[in-house]
Amino acid sequence: MLHDPDPLLCQALAADLSAASFTALALKEAWGAPAGDAISRGLRGPAERALGDRDDDLAVLARLFVLGRAQPAASLSRALPSVGADGLVALGLATQHEAAVTPVAALRPQSYADAMGAGEWWIASDLNEAALGGPLPEEHVLGVGRASLTLTALQLPTPAVRGLDVGAGCGIQALRARRNVDNIIATDISERALWFTRLNALINGIDSIETRSGSLFEPVVGETFDRVVSNPPFVITPRSAEVPAYEYRDGGMVGDDLVAAFVAGVGEHLAPGGVAQLLGNWETRDGIDGLDRVREWVQSSAVPLDAWIVERESVEPLAYAELWIRDGGTLPGTARFAALIDAWLDDFASRKVSAVGFGYLLLRRPSSGSPTLTRYEKLHQSLSGDSLGAHLAKALETHDRLSALDTEGLAESFFVVAPDVTEARHHMPGEEDPTVIELRQGGGFGRSVNVDSGLAALVGACDGDLPAGVLIDAIAQLLDVDAAALRADLLPRVRELATMGFLDLNSP
């Protein structure tokens, strides 16, 4: 039975970890970037070789909490003088047998940076398959993975009062949301996950995070929120007895029904103007594209919603199955791996699935009136890794400002080229005029768009001094074309470039 973590012990542990310089940078310097990357792939050997026979406090804590190795109680008492081995046992992070302390949970430093600044958390979770020496148990509580970091980067950095984290896991999204949201309710079907959420909040000194047990929106019936965030258990898993049902990734539904259920239910839990952000998978079924199916989910919501859906990648069923079977700790080349592959492929075949998409969903309940935002995009290019939250927030603000403008109002607006935008021109050998003019975005989604000479001239002239309509009229005169026709052509594209972040909408 899990006991609530002792706040004083958590505070003492944080002080000890800080004094020992148990940070992401210190670990990277201790064993090097390649060994750190190997740990994320389940390989501990390179890090252990790099640490060698070091017995300083950082090395002891790294072996215990990151590599999952038992450590001498005396060494731990030195590294954690306020907590000691007894305190770790009392917190449920370790067990002790004679002179050896064995971890039962991982505890890793996790750096973050957002519009409010940079910092670091310590995040506790269950031990991974490398530390366990085999496949994960179904009740495993995942630590901070790539998907977790993706969603933390996507979270809007704008202030809000009430927030909801659905499927909290170890609590990383709740911690991130709390930086901008006054009060958070974190839910999960796993009591152990909620225990880790409470533990991590206490270790990091973060208040106003309440935990509730239950599936999807069951724990918050009748309540509304300004911000909803979720990294739900969206992984598509065969409903078969021989396939492990990992709580951290499997919501117990068929195919992509869990994401569909979230989209269908979130609207009634959003306050006017409230925004929900989540990650998800969607299937391309029987020739119907996955994004088109997501569009149907949004349109069927009882509460009309603005929607901005981005598909970041799409994989065929075999690659999808291999990815998640490996994720559970089952290795290729075994009979077990082959049997699981068959189960996944049979499941996909039963629904005529030809591809699985992964991406981001941003849903918003309009403050008033009908939805105005409808974007369904496939952006499979690589990203810089910078935070997208600020980009999304600015795009929403720009969209709302532009939605209030008719064509004449847009023509009277002032624009400035965003500072991360560059232009590339491609010429055929010997030709003076370019065959392709390309605008490239250095931040945001790293978009690249081809433009014609008229739009390129307009973008190049956008310095905030003259309104768009006046610039277009001047360009029409230079090109010797009809000004009204050029306005009709360019103004809708200016609206789109501004929404995407290529142009900043300025006040005169």
pLDDT, block means (10 residues), the chain with 508 residues:
88 97 96 90 90 95 95 96 95 94 96 88 91 83 92 96 97 97 97 97 98 97 98 94 89 94 97 98 97 97 97 96 89 92 96 97 96 96 76 96 96 96 90 88 93 95 96 96 96 97 87
- CA quadruple 317, 322, 328, 332: dihedral, nearest 10: 150
Q: What is the pLDDT of residue 33?
A: 92
Distance CA 68, CA 313 (A): 33
Q: Strand, coil or helix: what is 57?
A: helix
Which distant-in-sequence residues (6+ apart) come within 8 Å of 114 by Cβ?
157, 176, 179, 387, 389, 390
Q: What is the pLDDT of residue 1?
A: 61
What structural domains does the chain harbor? 7-110 (no CATH), 145-400 (3.40.50.150), 404-506 (3.90.930)
Q: Strand, coil or helix: what is 367?
A: coil
Here the tokens at position 407 are 């064509």
Q: What is the pLDDT of residue 432?
A: 78
Q: Which residue, 132, 116, 201, 131, is CA-closest to 165?
A: 201
Residue 464: Cβ-neighbour burial (10 angstroms; 0-12, 13-18, 19+):
middle
- 425 sits in which H/E element: strand 421-426
Q: What is the pLDDT of residue 384?
A: 62
Distance CA 308, CA 156 (A): 13
Q: Strand, coil or helix: what is 295?
A: helix
Which segments of 245-286 are extended strands (E)? Answer: 270-285
Q: What is the pLDDT of residue 129?
A: 79
Q: Strand, coil or helix: what is 357?
A: strand
Residue 109: Cβ-neighbour burial (10 angstroms; 0-12, 13-18, 19+):
buried
Question: What residue has token string 């929403």?
Answer: 396
Q: What is the pLDDT of residue 344?
A: 96
Cross-strand pairs, 314: 357
- Max distance between CA atoms of the chain, in angstroms, equals 89
Q: Residue 190: how many CA atoms within 13 Å on its side-chain side?
A: 29
Residue type, 98: E
Q: Which residue, 189, 155, 176, is CA-closest to 110?
A: 176
Which distant-in-sequence residues (6+ apart) come within 8 Å of 256 by Cβ?
234, 236, 280, 281, 282, 283, 293
Cross-strand pairs, 106: 125
- 350 sits in which H/E element: helix 335-350
Strands 306-315, 374-378: pairing is: parallel
Distance CA 488, CA 454 (A): 12
Rg (CA), the chain: 26
